[in-house]
Amino acid sequence: MREHTEKVMGNPLGIVPIAKLLPKFAVPAVISMIVSALYNMVDQIFIGWGVGVLGNAATNVAFPIPTICLSLALLAGIGGSANYNICSGKGEEEEGLKFAGNALSMMVILGVVMLAGILIFLKPLLFVFGATDQVMPYAVDYVRIIAYGLPFHFLGFGSTHLIRADRSPAFSMLCGIVGAVINLALDPIFIFGFHWGMKGAAFATILGQIVTAVMAVIYFTKMSSMKIRKHHLVPGGSYFRRIFVLGIGGAIFNLSIALSQIVMNNVIRAIGPSSVYGVEIPLACVGIIVKIDQVFRGIGIGVHQGCQPIFGFNYGAKKYDRVRECFKRASIAVIITGVIFFAAFMLFPKGILSMFGAESEVFFAFGVRFFRIYLMFTILNALPQLISGFFTATGKPVPAAMIPVIKHIFTFIPLVLLLPMLMGLDGVMFAGAISDAIIIVVSLLMVRKALRELK
């Protein structure tokens, strides 16, 4: 008991003022997520100028695949790091190492399984995701290549959460930045220099993922404070189950986004031919705007990822006042960010869209309208993600998972199926705005109750 108390009292997560601790962990996580979102967006820019509207539509159709893979990497990374943080707060270091090691094993296993599944069912998957006859060849070229990078993507991205839990947020950020920079540097060379088109963008992506994974392996073998040994990597059913329980909130958030995207693409494919915009233009616009929105949401995700070690350790150590203070400061940060992005989305939508290629006026007409309606609640849109992350870090997987389920499964998908029958493509736009408003209110009520009980 005395040894446990000394470990807790000596850990910076439990004693350094939150005002200093939060930027230390959150800023690197935010930078990492922004860079990741930006390189997805810049990928789209190069494809827009090098391939055109069909290339942009193809990346939108393919987008659920990396989103699903991201969700599974989060399942292992967040689940492993959350369990490690809580064990550290309780002074159970060896148990925490077993969770970290099992999380790494889970990342590799999931990556290999996804690679095999995508290669076997590639075209049927892309059709389900909304591909048209014109878009399918571009999507196949892109996805068939990026599939081979998935095991590296799982290990590299998932490991950043464990590295952050090991109190190395700067190196966690560096892993993401180096991979993204390599991708961005190779994109113009492969797409324009070698004239590889969609295949060039895919090759640039997987090379960046490989480098990130290699950096993570080097960290855990040479630099890590958490001394993970071979026996920690041996899969254990009880550890996998607990990782699943605490990681499922973050995973469901992204899985539900992927499902929403699939449904939205299919609705557009069904009703697009009867509109003045057709099918390919809305598919391309939606893909672009969703990726732009990811830059903003990446900030919210980065903030709550930076909070994870602080939430988890102090919750395990029963320092609940520090948990509440961290949540308050993080909420203020994401709301201020929301105000800035809301202004950009509402005032300059055409300027933002024009970065992705010289398209027709019909393209810009749809894109500007989609921007202003679909993203009208941007100011508060990062709060549900922060709140879901708060529940995950404090060992409450059920409310963490409920937030994305309510947002996407119970509100957005029913609305995006119903409203277009009444409003055409405008129904897709309003479905996004209405579901955002509902989940903001619901998640705030949930966290208000949880914070009051945290005594």
For 114-148, b/e burial (b = at least 16 CB within 10 A) is: bbeebeeebeebbbebbbbeebbebbbbbbbbbbb
pLDDT band at 2 (very low <50, low <70, confident <90, very high): very low
Tens-digit pLDDT profile for residues 416-445 = 999 999 999 999 999 999 999 999 999 999
| Share above pLDDT 90 across residues of the chain, in percent, rounded to a whole number | 57
Tens-digit pLDDT profile for residues 414-423 = 999 999 999 9
Q: Is 284 within 8 Å of 60 (Cβ atoms)?
A: yes
- Looking at residue 10, its pLDDT comes to 57
In terms of average pLDDT, the best of 101-105, 168-172, 297-301, 388-392 is: 101-105
Tens-digit pLDDT profile for residues 114-152 = 999 999 999 999 999 999 999 999 999 999 999 999 999
Q: Which two tokens stand for residue 73?
A: 């990497």
Length in residues, the chain: 455
- Looking at residue 173, its pLDDT comes to 84
For residue 132, give the DSSP letter. Answer: -
Tens-digit pLDDT profile for residues 77-118 = 989 998 998 888 788 889 999 999 999 999 999 999 999 999
Q: Which two tokens stand for residue 75?
A: 């399942």
pLDDT band at 400 (very low <50, low <70, confident <90, very high): confident
pLDDT for residue 251 is more than 70: yes
Tens-digit pLDDT profile for residues 187-199 = 999 999 999 999 9
- Looking at residue 380, its pLDDT comes to 95
**What is the Cα–Cα distance from 26 to 333, expressed in whole angstroms?**
10
pLDDT band at 382 (very low <50, low <70, confident <90, very high): very high
- Looking at residue 32, its pLDDT comes to 77
Q: Which residues 6+ apart lie within 8 Å of 353 measured at CB?
A: 285, 288, 289, 359, 363, 364, 367, 368, 371
Rounded average pLDDT over 340-358:
90
Q: Is 192 within 8 Å of 209 (Cβ atoms)?
A: no
pLDDT for residue 273 is more than 60: yes
| Share above pLDDT 70 across residues of the chain, in percent, rounded to a whole number | 97
**What is the Cα–Cα distance from 171 to 448, expressed in whole angstroms?**
34
SS3 content of the chain, % helix, strand, coil (to 5): 85, 0, 15
- Looking at residue 4, its pLDDT comes to 46
**pLDDT higher for 377 or 10?**
377
Question: Average pLDDT of the chain?
Answer: 89
Q: Which of 11, 27, 188 is nearest to 85 (CA)?
A: 11
Q: Which residue is associated with the tokens 């090379």?
A: 207
- Looking at residue 41, its pLDDT comes to 77
Q: Which two tokens stand for residue 276?
A: 């003045």
For residue 92, give the DSSP letter. Answer: -
Q: Which of 369, 375, 199, 201 is nearest to 285 (CA)?
A: 369
Q: Which residue is associated with the tokens 């830059």?
A: 295
Predicted structure pTM score: 0.82
Q: Which residues 6+ apart lie within 8 Å of 214 measured at CB?
A: none
Q: Which residues 6+ apart lie within 8 Å of 454 measured at CB?
A: 320, 323, 324, 394
Q: Which residue is associated with the tokens 């109750």?
A: 449
Q: Which two tokens stand for residue 432?
A: 């996004």
pLDDT for residue 305 is more than 50: yes
